[in-house]
Structure 1
Amino acid sequence: MKAITFCVVAFLCFVSTKLQAQEKETFEERAAAIATNIERITAQEQDSLKKEVDAINQKLENNQLTEAQAESQRQQYAEKRAKNIENRVAFEQEKLTQLVQDKVDGKVESKATKKFRFTIPGRNKEYSSYDSLGNHTITNRKQEGFERDFKRTTSWFLFATGLNRLVVDGDIDNDNFKERSEFYEWGFTWNTRIFKNNNLLHLRYGLSLQYNNFRPKDDKVFTVVDGQTVLTDSGLDLDMSRLRITNLVIPVHLEFDLGGKRVNGDKTYYPVQNSVRIGIGGYGGFNVKEKQILRYEDELGNDVKHKSKGGYNVNDFVYGVSGYIGYGSVSLYAKYDIQSLFDNEIDQNNVSFGIRFDLE
């Protein structure tokens, strides 16, 4: 229970860090963002001018304007757009001037001197921009600068870790296993938005390896007796006793993403896992490996590590239900093997609780 509490606290701290922390950009990155803004400003104004000129030409063809009136309006619109570009670019030039001053004052790092830092996925970088009407806005780089937000299917790296227990006759067996009996899972998933114009429902599916570790208490080991896998006394003073079951599975989840859609100008896009997410589903696969590892000190004081592979009556196939709830790339995660772990007369089902990361 203490370990589960620790996982929950760690999850909350991670989410808090995600919400509050912003990644610092290097001098080169900020300069590149300013250059991109300037290019965007020019393209926006030129596009607007083209539409205005096309409209004037159409009126001219329909005899709604004379040639002189049309030329006068073209000149007015051209001057207006040129003035817009001048004013908007001037703002970016001020930012560039301040950036150079910050670099001189040592307030911003260059790419060459930037130290490694762990960053939480989310890309919450902001920069100033203008819309087509010249209104100043603060835009999230994730919202506008990343192509994946416009895709219906995206790929992710999955990593999860937490605690393992066996459920026997409906009760969790805490008496025979240490609290640090743990599981790891890693693999790759794909996230497909189900509806073209709605961000609520996603299908997340992939392929992953599950490593389920069970650490018996009181110097016990797993042994097969009369075709049944049971815990027996090893007769040794064990420093470690661990049975590891490795499964290759295909996880499939129906994911509810509460992030909604975003609109930027005339573009509508759907940010992927940028808000609260809830996943409900399951997995199915087969056992890849089973191995028991014992570590102890022999009578001569030598450290001994003994490994034995296979022969523990583990079921060849595994299937179960799983779910997660979280924010952004991190979630609380739980899974339950419907298939019994061992081919015993009494079912022993593995249940796991932990933290899950879906990373780019």
Structure 2
Amino acid sequence: MYKIILYTVIIVFSVLTKAVAQEKTFEQQAKSIAVTIEMITTEEKNALKKEVEAIDSQVKEGKITPEKAQELKTKIAQERANNIETKVAIEEAKLAQLVQDKVDGKIVDISEESTRGGTTIILGSNSKDSIGKNKTEINFGSMKIYKGEKDKAERRSKRTTSQFVFAFGLNNVVTDGENFEDSDYRVWGSHFYEWGITYNSRIFKNNNLLHAKYGLSLMYNNLRPTDNRYFVKNGNQTDLVTSSVNLDESRFRNVYLIAPLHLEFDFTPKKLSADGSKTYFRTHQSVRLGIGGYGGVRIKSKQILKYEADDIKVKEKQKGDFNVSDFTYGLSAYVGYGQTSLYVKYDLNPMFKNNNIDQNNVSLGLRFDFN
């Protein structure tokens, strides 16, 4: 479980990081030089205009004669012309070297680069549509391998796509007549984890708004009781009792295999191919909202107790059914942007089968759908 968490942290970190610099193409560099030359000419001409206007003002004020003014204008015009010639010569030398580098093969355009092979490894969701005609992209975040730009575009634009899902956050129970401040379980110490595979099917052929999202997930619900307590099975009842020893940790975990089903609203706009001949429907690139539910079976229940006895550290694992409901079903929803969303779940069935007071599991956290 800790390996999964560590791997997910690496994925999330990679989602938040982007490349900050890219190699400029020949056309971009040539255009940059042309813009610089234009700026040099414009700046020198504007400076000359202001200087001429200043000389004319001196003539009007009687400070200099018209003959002197003409002499000054000729002088500064020549100076500005020399400035333009000198500065432009530097940029022309850069352009000449750029052309020579292009001829010598030192500069490779994106269009040329895209025809080459090679492999790109992506940890998270920071992959781009354009990966190169013959390149291979291995995306660990979504657990997919794309063989070339065409393969990636076609697979990501299919009516049904797949995602790797990971979610985590706070976990607790809803008890009649109690609020979370009076909960029997630590609010910040109780957590849930969920990971699995989902499929996303566009409901309408030519409209990207509505999707059916379904799949299989493993769900881990952890509760940490307060006040040095732990669970004890008494017949068909499961009670929280105070331990006779000081517990360093008391954690109760239920693991479920569930089948989630959501109606997803995806506001990602459609895209057109470069020549405008084909329409692509992408997902997970804008605001998303999902509402639905889940149902599944309990795989196992386990209680972990840690304490010291006679200066010996003890870790005790207790496995059994603890009278936990064998089946679970509930409501869930999420809202977010791109591949990240806020996620909430609520079990409609009580956690324990026959306890006098029903307690229903509730979870709130973050969800990542790596497309």
Shorter-chain TM-score range: 0.5 to 0.7
Q: Counterpart of 2:361?
A: 350
- Quote the residue 1:196 is aligned against: 205
Other-structure match for 1:54: none
> Post-superposition shift, 1:142?
8.6
**Does residue 307 in structure 1 map to residue 323 in structure 2?**
no
Which runs of structure 2 are paired with 1:16-165 in the superposition (5 Å)?
18=16, 21-22=18-19, 97-99=106-108, 119-124=123-128, 146-165=153-172
Which of 298, 320, 329 aligns to 2:330? It is: 320
Deviation at 1:144, TM superposition (A): 9.6
Q: TM-score under structure 2 normalisation? A: 0.62
Tell me: CA distance 1:253–1:166, structure 2 relative to 1, closer, same or farther (3 Å).
Answer: same
- Give 1:311 shift: 3.7
Seen in structure 2, the aligned counterparts of structure 1 residues 311 and 250 have a Cα distance that, compared at 3 Å, is: closer
Q: Deviations over 1:186-220 (max 9, x none)?
A: 11110101110000001010011110000012210
Identity %: 47
Match of 1:257 in 2: 266
Bigger CA radius of gyration: 2
Structure 1 length as normaliser, TM-score?
Answer: 0.64
Instruction: Count residues with an aligned counterpart.
Output: 259
**Alpha carbons of structure 1 residues 288 and 121: separation in structure 2 relative to 1, 3 Å:** same
Query: Which residue in the other structure is 2:281 paired with?
Result: 270
CA distance in 1, matches of 2:161, 2:21: 26
Partner of 2:299: 288
Unaligned runs of 5+ in 1: 1-13, 31-89, 101-110, 129-140
Deviations for 1:227-271, whole angstroms, at most 9, x for unmatched residues?
Answer: 322211011111110000011110000000001211221000101
List per-residue Cα deviations over 1:250-298 (Å, max 9, x = no partner).
0000000001211221000101211111110000011110110101111
Identify which of structures 1 and 2 has the higher relative contact order when contacts are C-alpha pairs closer than 8 Å and 6+ apart: 1
Q: Is contact 1:315–1:342 with CA below 8 Å preserved after alignment? A: yes
Computed over aligned residues only, the root mean square deviation of the Cα atoms, in angstroms, reads: 3.5
Selected match of 1:331 from 336, 341, 344? 341
Give the stretch that moved more between structures: 223-232 or 240-249: 223-232
AA matched with 2:316: H
- Amino acid of the structure 1 residue aligned with 2:314: V
Partner of residue 297, structure 1: 308
Q: CA deviation at 1:122?
A: 4.7
